[in-house]
């Protein structure tokens, strides 16, 4: 029995590093994380048994520094390196260096990676193995006259692809022979600058393509199996957005054809480890066994591998570790069963309304549903509430993965999970994901790679602020809700002072301008909000984990979360943030601030002993703050004249201002 590693190094970050560490720890394997300066406080570092800094934030100075990664492995006694995906995971030079250092690369051989790295050689190899390859030309000749005549033979429209490209990079569609020469030139220039290699192949353009890929696994004893297929057609600019397994609408005949072709491909290159054979499928007339073709092979574990794990009940990272120490595949093909349906949604810190620009920001509030009716939920993430999404790396927040008995319930559960996900502090694609799950064509299984681009306008709707969100934010900010009706006679007085019901001031920034609201308690659960536009009545009830606010045109169930200088209202996958204006900060902002006296702790301003305009002496009592069941007298730190003083009865947060003195000038 070959001995399992006692310690491995994970040469990655974020959710995939956490995911690999989780399996290693379950198997009793020690874990070494590597991190850049920007990731020093990140989750994967906290999870690992030990961690090594490998350099500054830019990936070229850290996560791509093969030398430092190998050095870290040797220094910590790690026997093997898991590359995750991306970074160095498909870099044959890295594999060679790892092996040269006497370490094990948890993945395929450098030769397999090289064989699949160049699209033309990969296609020639697959053709020889009897795997269907997209009709086209992937030969050595690169002269224009040769390629143009091949394009004519193939029949327009054709696709010109850089052989060193992948994932859509270096790809050009040509609709007519008149455009071939010029398009070839531009494709070549792009390939040269992007990959340092301007060689291309020419293929028949497959209309209405679906992206269906087959997970394969090989060991070092000549075995290879498939773990069924995944449909990854919902992509935007070649970035996968939602993936699922099995492929909607696939027949047993189609599955048999695709999975046997995929296993044949793996065997053809004596593949070891986790791999994915990507096929492109012409779905113009549904899924037909004679209309799928090999596109490329990914020689790594993929982002979307959890959907395969959930329909097979297997742990692919465990399989990678076992195969890497020389074990045979844990199961035979017959023992790998498909159960149910799984779907994954990639949650990103990006702004769909601004063409999905990455949105950096701090995740002041981040909460996922722990369970879902009629399905299992699995969250893969590398961040926690309070973490900041770094601008240096992929702005992924998490992958939400759902498993359910069938596709319809998997999609329903995913929609349910998305609307229960709460994020405040950065823009996200959460609402976009929910719109996609609800999309008519998608939910009926009529998917293709162009769906998102075609329907983008209807999928990206401006974020709406639900009616009642602002009112809820104002009342929560007034802190009146923290004193629900109780039998404590003093508590009942909350909201009242000796002269009737009191307005609690709340200031919001709206369109960059401070707007003052007054909140008063009308009776138990009913509040009045007054502003320049008059008074508005609402009723608020506490509900499971959140609030239910009702009023004229308002019926909202929501939760709230504190964010810096503001409050977020979270409801059904939307997050509305409101900026709270601290009146004294305002004074500073408007440049007429004297020096300020701020609250040493959160509390209630029990009584105020002076007024604006009063001259006070050092040590004179200005107000009494009730906090932590005690009364704290706040005195003047020096002689001076009061410019502003907080209202008696106000609830103040720590560090918020209590008084402002006139400046000396
Ligand atoms: C194609 C194709 C149509 N016909 N090849 C995109 C990136 C790489 N995976 C190959 N890709 C395509 N190759 C032929 N002959 C359409 C695409 C394509 C695509 C494929 C799968 C998933 C998403 C896609 C988005 C745009 C184009």
Distance, CA of 593 to CA of 515 (rounded, Å) = 19
Let me know if domain 7-106 sits in CATH 3.40.50.20: yes
The CB of 135 under 6 Å from ligand 1? The reply is no
Length of the chain, please? Answer: 665
Query: pLDDT digits over 157-206, tens only?
Result: 999 999 998 777 788 999 999 999 999 999 999 899 889 999 999 999 99
Query: pLDDT digits over 325-360, tens only?
Result: 999 999 999 999 999 999 999 999 999 988 898 998
The CB of 159 under 6 Å from ligand 1? The reply is yes
Question: Which residue is closest in CA terms to ligand 1's atom 3?
Answer: 206
Is the separation of the CB atoms in 109 and 74 below 8 Å?
no
Contacts for 338 with CB less than 8 Å, ≥ 6 apart: 228, 246, 311, 312
Of 349-353, 418-422, 490-494, 554-558, the range with the lowest mean pLDDT is 490-494
The CB of 213 under 6 Å from ligand 1? The reply is no
Mutate to test the pocket of ligand 1, among 122, 211, 237 (most ligand atoms within 8 A of CB): 211
170: its two tokens: 């270096």
The reported pTM is 0.84
Distance, CA of 126 to CA of 138 (rounded, Å) = 12
Is the separation of the CB atoms in 345 and 378 below 8 Å?
no
Distance, CA of 5 to CA of 13 (rounded, Å) = 21
Is the separation of the CB atoms in 336 and 312 below 8 Å?
yes
Give strand pairing partners of 204.
158
Distances (CA, A) of 135 to 124, 228, 266, 295: 12, 25, 21, 11
Distance, CA of 427 to CA of 283 (rounded, Å) = 35
Of 103-112, 178-187, 508-517, the range with the lowest mean pLDDT is 508-517
554: its two tokens: 């308002």
Which residues are the active-site residues?
300
| Rounded-to-10 torsion of CA 464, 466, 472, 476 | -40
Cα 16 to middle of ligand 1, angstroms: 25
**How is 413-430 classified by DSSP, letter by letter?**
HHHHHHHT-EEESS--SH
Query: pLDDT digits over 428-464, tens only?
Result: 999 999 999 999 999 999 999 999 999 999 999 888 8
The CB of 276 under 6 Å from ligand 1? The reply is no
Say which CATH architecture domain 209-339 belongs to: 2-Layer Sandwich (3.30)
- Kindly give the number of the ligand 1 atom that is closest to the alpha carbon of 167: 7
Contacts for 393 with CB less than 8 Å, ≥ 6 apart: 13, 14, 38, 59
Q: Where does the pLDDT of residue 634 fall: very low under 50, low under 70, confident under 90, or very high at 90 and above?
A: confident
Whether 498 shows a pLDDT value over 80: the answer reads no
- Give the pLDDT score at 665: 47
Distances (CA, A) of 51 to 4, 30, 36, 60: 21, 11, 10, 19
Distance, CA of 247 to CA of 24 (rounded, Å) = 30
Kind and range of the H or E element at 76? Answer: helix 66-76
Query: pLDDT digits over 528-556, tens only?
Result: 999 888 899 999 999 988 999 999 999 99
CATH of domain 469-581: 3.30.700
Cα 302 to middle of ligand 1, angstroms: 18
Distances (CA, A) of 101 to 62, 74, 481, 573, 621: 19, 8, 63, 48, 72
Q: Where does the pLDDT of residue 488 fall: very low under 50, low under 70, confident under 90, or very high at 90 and above?
A: very low
The CB of 206 under 6 Å from ligand 1? The reply is yes
Q: Which of 435, 424, 274, 210 is nearest to 345 (CA)?
A: 435
**How is 265-285 classified by DSSP, letter by letter?**
HHHHTT--EEEEEEEEEE-BT
- Give the pLDDT score at 629: 64
Query: pLDDT digits over 571-581, tens only?
Result: 998 899 998 87
* Crossing angle between the packed helical segments 430-438 and 407-419, to the nearest 10 degrees: 150
- Give the pLDDT score at 581: 78
Distance, CA of 132 to CA of 292 (rounded, Å) = 7
Distance, CA of 17 to CA of 63 (rounded, Å) = 12
Question: Which residue is closest in CA terms to ligand 1's atom 19?
Answer: 449
Whether 489 shows a pLDDT value over 50: the answer reads no
- Kindly give the number of the ligand 1 atom that is closest to the alpha carbon of 203: 15
Give strand pairing partners of 616.
640
Whether 408 shows a pLDDT value over 50: the answer reads yes
Query: pLDDT digits over 373-398, tens only?
Result: 889 999 999 999 999 998 899 999 99
Whether 303 shows a pLDDT value over 50: the answer reads yes
Whether 367 shows a pLDDT value over 50: the answer reads yes
Distance, CA of 431 to CA of 442 (rounded, Å) = 16
Whether 590 shows a pLDDT value over 80: the answer reads no
Say which CATH architecture domain 135-204 belongs to: 2-Layer Sandwich (3.30)
Give strand pairing partners of 534.
531
Cα 203 to middle of ligand 1, angstroms: 11
- φ/ψ (deg, to 5) at 115: -60, -35
Give the domain ranges of the chain: 7-106, 135-204, 209-339, 346-463, 469-581, 583-661
DSSP, collapsed to helix, strand or coil, labels residue 240 as strand
Q: Where does the pLDDT of residue 583 fall: very low under 50, low under 70, confident under 90, or very high at 90 and above?
A: low
Mutate to test the pocket of ligand 1, among 151, 233, 280 (most ligand atoms within 8 A of CB): 280
Give percent of the chain with pLDDT exceeding 70: 94
Q: Where does the pLDDT of residue 637 fall: very low under 50, low under 70, confident under 90, or very high at 90 and above?
A: confident
Of 69-73, 102-106, 274-278, 513-517, the range with the lowest mean pLDDT is 513-517
| Fold agreement (346-463, 583-661) | no
CATH fold of the domain at 346-463 = D-amino Acid Aminotransferase; Chain A, domain 1 (3.30.470)
Cα 238 to middle of ligand 1, angstroms: 8
DSSP, collapsed to helix, strand or coil, labels residue 200 as strand
Cα 355 to middle of ligand 1, angstroms: 21
Distance, CA of 350 to CA of 444 (rounded, Å) = 27
Whether 207 shows a pLDDT value over 90: the answer reads no
CATH fold of the domain at 583-661 = OB fold (Dihydrolipoamide Acetyltransferase, E2P) (2.40.50)
Contacts for 357 with CB less than 8 Å, ≥ 6 apart: 350, 351
The CB of 235 under 6 Å from ligand 1? The reply is yes
Is the separation of the CB atoms in 255 and 246 below 8 Å?
yes
User: Residue for token digits 């050095």?
Assistant: 71
Whether 485 shows a pLDDT value over 60: the answer reads no
Eight-state DSSP code of residue 646: P
**How is 361-385 classified by DSSP, letter by letter?**
EE-SEEE--S-BTTBEEEEEES--T
């Amino acid at each position: 029995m070959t001995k399992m590693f006692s310690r491995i190094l994970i040469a990655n970050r974020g959710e995939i590093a956490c995911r690999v560490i989780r399996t290693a720890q379950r198997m009793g394997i020690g874990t070494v994380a590597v991190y850049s300066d920007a990731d020093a406080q990140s989750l994967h570092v906290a999870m690992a048994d030990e961690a090594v800094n490998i350099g500054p934030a830019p990936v070229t100075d850290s996560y791509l520094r093969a030398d430092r990664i190998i050095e870290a492995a040797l220094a910590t006694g790690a026997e093997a390196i898991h590359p995750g995906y991306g970074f160095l995971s498909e870099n044959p030079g890295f594999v060679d260096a790892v092996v040269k250092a006497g370490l094990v690369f948890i993945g395929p051989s450098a030769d397999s990676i090289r064989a699949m790295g160049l699209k033309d050689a990969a296609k020639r190899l697959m053709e020889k193995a009897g795997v269907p390859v997209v009709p086209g030309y992937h030969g050595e000749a690169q002269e224009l006259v040769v390629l143009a005549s091949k394009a004519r033979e193939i029949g327009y429209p054709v696709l010109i692809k850089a052989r060193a490209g992948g994932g859509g990079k270096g790809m050009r569609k040509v609709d007519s022979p008149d455009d071939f020469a010029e398009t070839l030139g531009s494709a070549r220039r792009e390939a040269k600058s992007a990959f340092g290699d301007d060689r291309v192949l020419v293929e028949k353009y497959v209309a209405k393509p679906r992206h269906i890929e087959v997970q394969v696994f090989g060991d070092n004893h000549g075995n290879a199996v498939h773990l069924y297929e995944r449909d990854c057609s919902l992509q935007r600019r070649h970035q996968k957005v939602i993936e699922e397994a099995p492929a909607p609408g696939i027949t047993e005949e189609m599955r048999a054809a695709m999975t046997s072709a995929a296993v044949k491909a793996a065997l053809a290159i004596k593949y070891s480890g986790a791999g994915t054979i990507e096929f492109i499928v012409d779905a113009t007339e549904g899924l037909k066994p004679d209309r799928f073709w090999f596109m490329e092979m990914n020689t790594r574990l993929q982002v979307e591998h959890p959907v395969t794990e959930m329909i097979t009940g297997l742990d692919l990272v465990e399989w990678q570790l076992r195969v890497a120490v020389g074990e045979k595949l844990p199961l035979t093909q017959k023992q790998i069963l498909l159960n149910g349906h799984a779907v994954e949604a990639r949650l990103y810190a990006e702004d769909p309304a601004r063409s999905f620009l990455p949105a950096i920001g701090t995740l002041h509030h981040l909460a996922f549903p722990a369970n879902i009716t009629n399905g299992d939920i699995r969250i893969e993430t590398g961040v926690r509430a309070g973490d900041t999404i770094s601008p240096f790396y992929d702005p992924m927040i998490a992958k939400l993965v759902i498993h359910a008995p069938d596709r319809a319930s998997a999609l329903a559960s995913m929609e349910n999970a998305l609307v229960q996900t709460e994020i405040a502090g950065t823009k996200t694609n959460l609402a976009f994901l929910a719109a996609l799950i609800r999309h008519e064509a998608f939910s009926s299984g009529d998917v293709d790679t162009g769906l998102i681009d075609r329907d983008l306008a209807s999928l990206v709707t401006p974020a709406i602020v639900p009616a009642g969100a602002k009112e809820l934010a104002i009342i929560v900010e007034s802190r009146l809700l923290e004193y629900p009706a109780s039998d404590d006679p003093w508590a009942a007085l909350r909201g009242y002072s000796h002269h009737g019901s009191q307005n609690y001031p709340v200031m919001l920034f709206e369109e960059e301008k401070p707007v003052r609201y007054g909140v008063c308690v009308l009776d138990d659960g009913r509040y009045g909000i007054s502003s320049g536009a008059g008074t508005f009545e609402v009723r608020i009830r506490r509900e499971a984990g959140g609030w239910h606010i009702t009023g004229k045109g308002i019926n909202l169930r929501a939760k709230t979360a504190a964010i810096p200088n503001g409050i977020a209202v979270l409801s059904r996958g939307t997050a509305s943030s409101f900026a709270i204006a601290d009146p004294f900060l305002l004074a500073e902002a408007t440049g007429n601030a004297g020096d300020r006296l701020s609250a040493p702790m959160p509390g209630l301003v029990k009584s105020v002993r002076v007024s604006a305009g009063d001259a006070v002496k050092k040590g004179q009592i200005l107000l009494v703050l009730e906090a932590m069941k005690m009364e704290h007298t706040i005195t003047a730190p020096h002689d001076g004249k009061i410019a502003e003083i907080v209202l008696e009865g106000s609830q103040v947060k720590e560090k918020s201002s209590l008084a402002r003195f006139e400046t000396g000038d």
